[in-house]
Amino acid sequence: MPILIDIRKLTIIGKLIQHGAKNVADSLSTMADIEADIQIKSLSFVEPGDIPQEIGDGEFYHANIRLTEPPYGVFLMTFDSLTAREIAEHMTGQQATSGSLNAMHESALQEMCNILTSGFIDGIANTLETTINMQTPTLERADSEIIAEETLSHIHADSLSIVLDSVVDLADQDTEFQLRIFLVPDPGAFVNLIDKLDIEEIREIEDPTERRGTDRAF
């Protein structure tokens, strides 16, 4: 059965992501005292079966939550070991000896995942004029195939996955963290939420002071 959306409402998906990213930046500032800019470098739509390929080959850190409210589905964030070390070292101020993370590093990473996940989901929920309660994501490390298998086992093969390549650009230094975010909503619930929104309203709630960099803000 087709799940229909007005094609002109696709601009709302861009706004959702823009607001999610902005909220992540705000959350990083208030919750972790980190001034950062979040840029979405690319947006694409793939089928769930292509997600392992999108994550990449090998082992990745990942945090995921199942959304128990509309738009349901899964939020998944992945990043590689290099990014993990950079985040952990930045947050703790401690170097990782011979590349391996200690308990404090792991804890800082988990904290960062919580901030990024809740910031993003809250930003999207605000734009959708709803709330999305969620559990705390657990940070784990696994092969991309296993990540996809465990995270998406309950997702229909013909769901739509929104894939975002994002970069957290720290203001106070020349450091960037590269993250990949997968939003795999229940297509019907997602379309329902978007259908309720008016494009003009979305515009109004947009922050007029928001910066638009050449690096593309959606």
DSSP secondary structure of 162-198: EEEEEEEEETTSS-EEEEEEEEE--HHHHHHHHHH--
**Which H helix or E strand runs over 57?**
none
Helix axes of 81-92 and 103-127: crossing angle, nearest 10 degrees: 100
CA atoms of 25 and 70, how far apart (whole Å):
24
Of 209 and 214, which CB lies nearer to a copy of itself in the complex structure?
214
CA atoms of 139 and 178, how far apart (whole Å):
16
**Closest alpha carbon to 200 in 8, 68, 1, 72:** 8
* 47 near a copy of itself, rule: CB under 8 A: yes
Binding residue for a copy of itself (CB under 8 A) from 30, 199, 201, 207?
199
Tell me how crowded residue 205 is: count the other CB atoms within 10 A of its CB: 11
Pick out residues in 26-45 that bind a copy of itself (CB under 8 A): 40-45
Of 71 and 119, which CB lies nearer to a copy of itself in the complex structure?
71
* 73 near a copy of itself, rule: CB under 8 A: no
Binding residue for a copy of itself (CB under 8 A) from 55, 191, 205, 209?
191
Q: Could you give the string, one character per residue 90-129, with x where binding to a copy of itself holds by CB under 8 A and - elsewhere?
A: ----------------------------------------
* Shortest Å, Cβ 49 to a copy of itself: 10
Chain residues binding a copy of itself by CB under 8 A are 2-8, 10-11, 13-14, 40-47, 53, 56, 158-160, 165, 187, 190-191, 199, 212, 214, 216, 218
